[in-house]
Structure 1
């Protein structure tokens, strides 16, 4: 089975909380990786997300250490939507 990792950037205008992360994370841009696997048996290429990871700290923070933390993709989407709704 083939696998791939796609990359995106999540922008938070305000501090946020996600399960699996220690405490409140500061506002900023965060690198997000999505691990996907190819679904066999269909007549066109289709991918299924199997894991989502966030890179800590935010892109603008200069730190000698960083970590990659597994997060729930649906929870990330909900947090981003909440952030956008409250950004006005």
Structure 2
């Protein structure tokens, strides 16, 4: 069975959780590793995703350690969408805007 791995990065602007994990991860750039296997017996080359990992760097006493947190494509996309929504809400809030001039 032939497999391949692809790597990409994703940047979160806010703290986030992913999937059912209750572990809050800090904002930052994370590496995503996707492993796929070649589907045999087809007349064309096609791959099926077998696993998605989010590479999480250790903090505090675990600094220097990296863990591969298994997730799904759907959970990763949901976390990205939630991060964007929080960022848009924060940037559009009145607290983030300059105060209005009092013209009375």
TM bracket, shorter-chain basis: 0.7 to 0.9
> What SS is found at the alignment partner of 2:87?
coil
The whole-number CA distance in structure 2 between the counterparts of 1:47 and 1:66 is 27
Structure 1 residues 43-58: aligned runs within 5 Å? 43-57=43-57
Structure 1 residues 63-82: aligned runs within 5 Å? 63-82=63-82
More helix by share: 2
Runs of 4+ in 1 over 2 A off after TM superposition: 19-22
Aligned 8 A contact 1:35 1:50 in 2: yes
**Unaligned ranges ≥5, structure 2:** 89-104
> What SS is found at the alignment partner of 1:25?
coil
- How far apart are 1:85 and its partner, in Å? 2.8
Q: Flag the structure with more relative contact order, 1 or 2, with Cα contacts below 8 A and sequence separation at least 6.
A: 1
**Unaligned ranges ≥5, structure 1:** none
Q: 1:5-35 deviations in whole A, cap 9, x for unaligned? A: 1101111111100136451101111011001
Aligned residues: 84
Aligned 8 A contact 1:20 1:69 in 2: no
